[in-house]
Chains A and B, each alone.
Chain A
Amino acid sequence: MSENISKIKQIHKLLKTKQISCKELTSKYLDAIDKYNNTLGAYIKVTDELALNAAEKVDEKVKKGSELLPLEGIPVTLKDNISTNGIETTCCSKMLENYIPPFDATCWDIIKSQNGILLGKANMDEFAMGCSCETSRFCKTSNPHDLSRVPGGSSGGCSCAVSANLAAYALGSDTGGSIRQPASFCGIVGFKPTYGSISRYGLLALASSLDQIGPMATSVEDASIIYDALSIKDEKDSTCFGNVNGPTQIHLNKDINGMKIGLPKQYLEGINKDVSDSIFKAIKVYESLGAKIVPLDMPDIKYSLPIYYILVCSEAFSNFARLDGIRYGHRTNSYTNLEEFFSNSREEALGEDVKRRILLGTYVLSGKNYEHYYKKALKIRETIFETFEKAFKECDIILSSTVPQTAFLHNFKPEDQMEAYMTDICTVPANIAGIPAISIPCGTDSNNLPIGMQLIGNSFCESKILNAAYKFEQATFAKNHKSINMGVNL
């Protein structure tokens, strides 16, 4: 399969050859959103006027015969924790229900400067805490492959919109798997680049040392195009390096003969049989492409999830202190003194999972717990980083499943709280180490639901994992790609 599967390239071709105007294309997407959004709940805000105005500018450029910029004229949606000047950015919480940022996030600024077409803001779990997109203040989002199931989370609105052809691509944020897990559940590509390669300026922080913005798209090539366009050093984010190794697109089609792919046994423990079967089939595909499989033993990886919850909750406790009704957010009407004002504002406007995580953060940072939990978690974080460094001396990339299972049913009630958090077990280590990882479709389960495969690379080795993902996609696209009969099919 060497058919052009890049939606961005397809759209540019249609625009340049004047088979469709950008305004017509945008209207098609807006009509599709109007038709399907009530069923899917992907969007919480549609920005039709903004989209059509940007489309007009693109049409003028096409008329003049000017070259189109990489993301010019491409319909996009943004997760609702990415700041958009003059447009509500609510994190799907009652707390920020009426918050309108007075500035743009850098990633949106870049897209806007390229005349990208913002169709609207996508639904998400409240403050990006969740894995099902069911904790949003506004609505639940459904999986386009099976409406009785969740699209994953927290970037569930984005994955749903891209999968159901209600946007050509989306930008999500990934703190512990929030791009890759929903991408896996919805059968699309979700890419979390190296920490610091895309600016976080304007992203409403959950855990500042783990958060990373990244693309969600229908193909690896699109993910690469978007990454190359957005990975620019940003003075407004002191942790942003930009793309230190140059464009990734030129590496996509490189031969992977001889590439060493690590397979850690810890990543294969406890995963669903359909998922493990698909992963082993994917390994066969890689072997047929000339890659060598290297078994790895990474025992300390198992500590990733416990320290993830310590670090995320500690950082959230600090980041969310500003949501007090004075500096930001909902204000209560019921108070007799200032302390009560703060406590009641937060009580009324924050959801249960947000409160639970803030309380956990408060606990691990208080008194002796700080040494016992938080400082120890930082030490383990370093150990996990070193574990990956060692692994990448033996292999070029690491392969695993993205999630141990496929999309679960709406209103699934786990036995205990940790069971709900276990879906992140394969994705969290890459956030802990700050390294890049991508989820790509690699098959379906017995219910015909998509299964995702994860490829992890060393810091700033985006080219390697995109190359390996692209070659796999080219070899298996016809088999693994499940088209959805919704939205705009080009």
Chain B
Amino acid sequence: MITKEEIKKMSTIARISITDKESEKFADDLNDMFAFINMINEKNFDGAEFTGFCGSESFFRQDKVIEPLRDSSFNGTKSIDISLL
């Protein structure tokens, strides 16, 4: 059972100001939703591990070292003496 105090705490974490009346309404709504969501506890899914989408081995770009942008962005610029006065 989610209380309106918990909703207040969540709203602080989520950075959303809410009134007492709103926290009561959201507590009711979330309790309705969790009454449904808690059906996931009917069954044990411990054997499964989420591995990604669509059976793909990797979605990501190849992890290779490239020239840092910082160095290349100074190409062609003049060297300026910025020694302290």
User: Do A and B come together as binding partners?
Assistant: yes
Residues on the A chain within 8 Å of B37, using CB: 306, 309-310, 373
Cβ-defined contact, A376 with B15, below 8 A: no
Closest to B51 in A: A382
Residues on the A chain within 8 Å of B10, using CB: 359, 362-363, 366
- Given the known A-B contacts A209-B53, A238-B61, A417-B33, are A306 and B40 also in contact in the complex, defined by CB atoms under 8 Å? yes
Interface of B is mostly: loop
Binds B, one of A62-70, A129-137, A338-346: A338-346
B74 contacts the other chain (CB 8 A): no
Residues on the A chain within 8 Å of B48, using CB: 379-380, 382-383, 386
B1 contacts the other chain (CB 8 A): no
Residues on the B chain within 8 Å of A241, using CB: 56, 59
Cβ-defined contact, B50 with A379, below 8 A: yes
B20 contacts the other chain (CB 8 A): no
User: Pick the contact of A238 from B43, B45, B54, B60 — CB < 8 Å?
Assistant: B60
Closest to A372 in B: B41
Whole-angstrom distance between the alpha carbons of A376 and B46 in the complex? 8
Residues on the B chain within 8 Å of A300, using CB: 43
Cβ-defined contact, A343 with B39, below 8 A: no
Residues on the B chain within 8 Å of A359, using CB: 7, 10-11, 14, 16, 26, 30
Whole-angstrom distance between the alpha carbons of A324 and B2 in the complex? 26
Against B, the Cβ 8 Å flags (1 = close, 0 = not) of A324-354 are 1000000000000001101110110010000
Cβ-defined contact, A459 with B16, below 8 A: no
Which residues of B41-68 have CB atoms within 8 Å of chain A's CB atoms?
43, 45-46, 48-51, 53-56, 59-61
A358 contacts the other chain (CB 8 A): yes
Bin chain B's interface residue count.
35 or more
Cβ-defined contact, A355 with B26, below 8 A: yes
Which residues of A83-133 have CB atoms within 8 Å of chain B's CB atoms?
none
- Given the known A-B contacts A359-B7, A359-B30, A363-B6, are A347 and B16 also in contact in the complex, defined by CB atoms under 8 Å? yes
Cβ-defined contact, A380 with B30, below 8 A: no
Cβ-defined contact, B26 with A346, below 8 A: no
A434 contacts the other chain (CB 8 A): yes
B29 contacts the other chain (CB 8 A): yes
Whole-angstrom distance between the alpha carbons of A360 and B14 in the complex? 10
Whole-angstrom distance between the alpha carbons of A310 and B36 in the complex? 11
Whole-angstrom distance between the alpha carbons of A361 and B26 in the complex? 13
Cβ-defined contact, A196 with B16, below 8 A: no
B5 contacts the other chain (CB 8 A): no
Whole-angstrom distance between the alpha carbons of A195 and B55 in the complex? 11
Residues on the B chain within 8 Å of A418, using CB: 32-33, 35-36
Residues on the A chain within 8 Å of B2, using CB: 363
Question: In the assembled complex, how far is the CB of residue B80 from the closest CB belonging to chain A, in whole angstroms?
Answer: 30
- Given the known A-B contacts A343-B17, A366-B10, A382-B48, are A195 and B40 also in contact in the complex, defined by CB atoms under 8 Å? no
Residues on the A chain within 8 Å of B14, using CB: 317, 346, 358-359, 361-362
B84 contacts the other chain (CB 8 A): no
Residues on the B chain within 8 Å of A194, using CB: 54
Closest to B61 in A: A238
Cβ-defined contact, A380 with B15, below 8 A: no
Cβ-defined contact, B54 with A382, below 8 A: no
Cβ-defined contact, B45 with A379, below 8 A: yes
Task: Point out which of B37, B38, B51, B60 has the most chain A C-beta atoms below 10 A from its C-beta.
Answer: B37
Cβ-defined contact, B45 with A324, below 8 A: no
A265 contacts the other chain (CB 8 A): no
Question: In the assembled complex, how far is the CB of residue A252 from the closest CB belonging to chain B, in whole angstroms?
Answer: 23
19 additional A-B pairs beyond A363-B2, A386-B48, beta carbons within 8 Å, are: A194-B54, A196-B54, A239-B53, A306-B36, A306-B40, A343-B11, A347-B18, A358-B14, A359-B7, A359-B30, A362-B11, A363-B30, A379-B45, A380-B45, A382-B50, A383-B48, A389-B55, A421-B33, A459-B54
- 7 CB contacts below 8 A, A to B, read A238-B61, A239-B53, A307-B40, A356-B30, A373-B37, A380-B40, A383-B48
